[in-house]
Amino acid sequence: MRAVARPATILRAVPAGRAHERGRALRRRGLAVLGVVAALALWQGTVLLLRVPRYIAPSPVEVAVALRVEAGTLAANAWPTILETLGGFLVGNVIAVAIAIGFVHNRTFQHTVYPLAVTVRTLPIVAISPILVLLLGNGYAPKIAIAALITFFPTLVNMVDGLNAVDPQAQELMHVLSATRWEVFRYLRWPTSLPYLFSALRIASTASLLGAIVAEWIGSNKGLGYLILAATYDYRTPLLYATMAVASAIALALFGVISVLERYAVPWRRAEGATD
């Protein structure tokens, strides 16, 4: 005769499992912080021991001072880059998802457009940027377009794979139940594609920032890309490193937001990770 678990035992097991999961998360974060601190300490020690000139490589302390002293300049130039990054991220991913859905439902459309997308992806972004600046002017539009372009292809490829990664048996069951295309998409294809989509979004969150910065190199008088060039030409190396630190912080923040959204949009993936 099988023993039945008592409700009190189950209630005690649930908090214990959550506490274990929180402990694992804290350990991972602690190791990440330890790695960053160790890298900064190694950097500081190397600069001091080898007496590296400031204009070549400043110490972390000098970079921290630049972050404090140039906070106003960094903030003023960060906002345009953030707007361009978010705009390119949204535009590029929305278009990529829409085209991927079209590919799944129309093979002729896929065979016609997919080679064009691959061809555009092979073009160097540095070569495309001046063309977009000439076509769209010197405002936000070309920067957003370049950021969208650099995020478009990874999301398109991942989304096509995700929409096609349905279980054949589940698809056959939907066919037996006379499900419409919309019902197959809503209840089968879309949920299956979500892990693929969020994997692409994590990549796109950092790639869109890179695209915005590259676009600002081509022609701009504001933004983190412009500030990187200005600091390089003026040999203000601490400001250069501080600007890169701000750009890295923005990319990490975007990556973190996407990861948090994934935890709520794809809860079954979190449950699988907890059981590993």
For the record, the structure tokens of 157 come out as 């490829």
Predicted local distance difference test score (pLDDT) of residue 124: 80
Question: What confidence score (pLDDT) does residue 270 get?
Answer: 58
pLDDT (tens, 9 = 90+) of the chain, 276 residues, equals 444 445 555 445 445 556 666 777 677 778 778 888 888 788 778 777 888 777 777 888 888 888 888 888 899 999 999 999 999 999 999 999 999 999 988 888 888 888 888 887 887 877 787 788 778 877 888 889 888 988 998 899 999 999 888 888 887 888 877 778 888 888 888 888 899 999 999 989 888 998 888 888 877 788 898 899 888 888 888 889 999 999 999 999 999 999 888 888 877 665 554 444
Class for the domain spanning 56-275: mainly alpha
pLDDT at 10: 43
Are the C-beta atoms of 136 and 142 separated by less than 8 Å? yes
Phi, psi values for residue 137, rounded to 5°: 95, -165
Give the Cα separation of 64 and 61 in Å (integer).
5
**pTM of the predicted protein model:** 0.80
User: Would you kindly state where each structural domain of the chain is located, as residue ranges?
Assistant: 1-51, 56-275
Write down the pLDDT at residue 258.
Answer: 92
> Which is nearest to 243 in space by CA: 83, 82, 74?
74
| Residue 11: predicted pLDDT | 44
Res 2: pLDDT: 47
Q: Are 81 and 224 in contact (CB under 8 A)?
A: yes
- Report pLDDT for 181: 83
| pLDDT at position 36 | 81
Q: What is the pLDDT of residue 250?
A: 93
Q: What is the pLDDT of residue 15?
A: 58
Residues 6+ apart with CB under 8 A from 238: 54, 58, 62, 63, 65, 66
Token pair of 72, please? 């106003």
CA–CA gap between residue 61 and residue 259 (Å, rounded)? 31
